[in-house]
Chain A
C-alpha cells in the first residue's frame, strides 16, 4: 500500500502504466521493423501460461486410483459461489472418509482458488485446464469421476503452491 499512496502521484501512475508502456514501445519497435500481425491465433497458437495460472479446480488422484479428498467440506464452505457439492461417506481405508459425491458446477465457478487454499489435504488443485466450455448446462456440471487427475500431472501447480504458501 505504502508504495502507491506515499509516492509522488505521477510516479505512481507511471508505475501502474509500466506494463502497458513497455508493451506499447516493444510492439511499436516490432511494427516499425515490419511486423503486421500481433494477434495470437487461438487455438492453433497458444500463450505460454505462467505457473500461477488458476484453471479449473480438479481433484488429485493418488497412485492407487483413489482421490486424496476426505470430504472434509472446507472447500465447499470456502467457495464464494457455492459451486461445490459434497456428500461424504465412510470407507474401510485408514482415512475413514471419502466423497461419495463431489460435484463442481463449472458454470458457477469463478476460479478464485479459495477451495485450493482451504484444502488441508492438497486434494483440490487449480489445474492448468482452462478450455472447459460445453454445449449444455448439464455439461458444465462436473462429477467426481470427471474431476480426478493424477497428482503427477499437477506438479506445476503443487510446486508453485508449496513455494508460495509455506506448505
Chain B
C-alpha cells in the first residue's frame, strides 16, 4: 500500500492483538475474534455510545470505558474477563430487560436477536422485578415496509443513525428523556429506498419488515451467499431459504460493493423465483398452440428447427438476444453455441430504470457488464437498435431470445411487430408471455437462486452466486440448454461444468484472463482493466 497504516499492539486479557492506529478498541477486539457484546456500535455508522454494554477495564483509567468510543493506543492493557466487567454487563442487561416485553414467541427476531443471545450468555438468569412492564405502541405501521414495536426497543439508535447518515432522510427519532424515551417517526413516514435496512441494524425485534412479519422462524432458514440480481450494482446478499422456498434476502457485508446495505426493491425482488406462473417444462409449438414437452424432445426440436432454418436461409440471417440476467459462464457458452451455428448478429436488451448515488444503478440486470466483457455485444446500446433494424429489413429472419427483456425496453409495439413476422423464434424465459406463443420452442429459464456461477457488476467485479433452491429432477439450467444445443448442432461433446467453462473463458485475450475460478472469494474479484 502507498500509505502504510501504523499498527499498534494492545494486550487484552494477556493476549496481544494488533490493530491499525486510530481504530476503536471494540473493532480491534472484534477483528481479533474476541466475543465482546455490544448493541449500539455498528461498523458502518457513527459512534453513539448509548448502550453501555461494551465496557471494559483499561489499566490507568479510573473507571470502566466503553470500548466502542476508545481509540487503541500502543501498549494499552485491557481486561475483559474481569468480575467488574462481568457485573457491569449483567447490570446493563438487567436494565435493558427491565421493560422488555419478552414476547419472543411471537417476535420474528427470536433466534437471531442480540438481546436474547447476550442475555443468555452474559445476563442474569432471572428477573428480579415485580412491577408491571411499561406499555408502549406495538405493531405501529410507520412505513411502507416497516413495523415498529416500541416496547421491544432498547434505544440503541442504530436506526436513527442509519436514517441520518446513510439514507439521509431523517425519519426516525428518539422522543422523550430517560425512561420515557421512545422511538418514533415525526413528520414523515419511514418511506425511503433503503428503509428495510433499519430492520437489519436493529439488534432486537423493534423494527421488522412487513415482508417477513410472522412468516418463518429464522432457525429454519438456510443461508446461501449470493449476489442480488436486481441491478448492476451487484450487492452481496444472503438468500434465506427453507422448505424449498426463499423467505427473505438480506445484505451481506462487502466493503467494496455495498458495505452492509441493500435497497428495498432488491430485497423484495425474490418472489419471481417461486412464481406459480413460471414455466415448469419446455413448450413446443403444436397444432393447438404451444404444448408441454419433455426436455430431450424439446431440445431436439429446437436444434432441428435451428438446423432447418440455417439450411433454408443461411446462418447469417439468425440473430440472438443475449440476456444480462444470465451468468458469465452461461453467456460464454451462449457465445460458443452461436459461433458453432455461425449466427449473424448478437445484441442485448437491458431494462433500465431509476438510479441514485448510493447503491441503485440504472441497469436493472445483474450481468450486463459481463456480457460486454465477454465481447458478445458492442456499441452504445449493445447492438440492439441495429438488431431491430436488421429484423425490420428482413436481414435477420430468425431470433434466439434469452429472457423477456426485449418486451421491457419501452418499444413494445415495434418488438411485437418484429417477433410477429420472424421465420424462427426460440425463446428462453421464466414465464410464458403472450408473444412467446409464436416460438417454435420455449425453454424454461433458471433463476439466480437455482444455479451457481458468476456475475460481473457495473464496476467489473466478478462475484459468485449460490444455489439456494433445488431444481426439479431432469431440469436443465440455461448453461446446460446452450451446451445441449451446441452439441446437437456441431460435433462437440461438452458438459456444462463451471470450472471447465471458466478455464475456457479465461484463455488468453479474454478480459477475464488472469482471474482463477478459485480466487473469487466471498467478496468477488475485479477483472482485468476494471
Contacts and interface: CB of A to CB of B under 8 A. Distances in A.
Contacts, number: 35
A120 B102 CA distance: 11
Nearest to B149: A96
Interface in B206-238: 213-217, 219-220
B217 A90 contact: no
B219 A96 contact: no
A96 B217 contact: no
Contacts of B105: 70, 72, 74, 97, 120-121
A11 to B, nearest CB: 39
Given A77-B219, A120-B105, A121-B105, A72 B213 contact: no
A73 B104 contact: no
A88 interface: yes
A74 B106 CA distance: 11
In the complex, which range does the number of interface residues on chain A fall in?
A: 10 to 19
A96 B106 contact: yes
A120 B220 CA distance: 18
A77 B110 CA distance: 13
A89 interface: yes
Interface in A89-108: 89-90, 95-97
A139 B451 CA distance: 38
B524 to A, nearest CB: 34
Interface of B, helix, strand, loop or mixed by DSSP: loop
B139 interface: yes
B348 to A, nearest CB: 41
A73 B106 contact: no
A144 to B, nearest CB: 16
Contacts of A73: 217, 219-220
Contact of B214 (A76, A77, A88): A88
B110 A72 contact: yes
A96 B214 contact: yes
14 contacts: A70-B105, A72-B104, A72-B106, A72-B110, A73-B219, A73-B220, A74-B105, A77-B217, A77-B220, A90-B214, A95-B106, A97-B105, A97-B214, A121-B105
Top 7 nearest A-B pairs by Cβ distance? Answer: A72-B105, A73-B217, A97-B106, A90-B214, A88-B214, A70-B106, A97-B214
Interface of B: 104-106, 110, 138-139, 213-217, 219-220
Given A77-B219, A88-B216, 10 more contacts: A71-B214, A72-B110, A72-B217, A73-B220, A88-B214, A90-B213, A90-B214, A95-B106, A97-B106, A120-B104
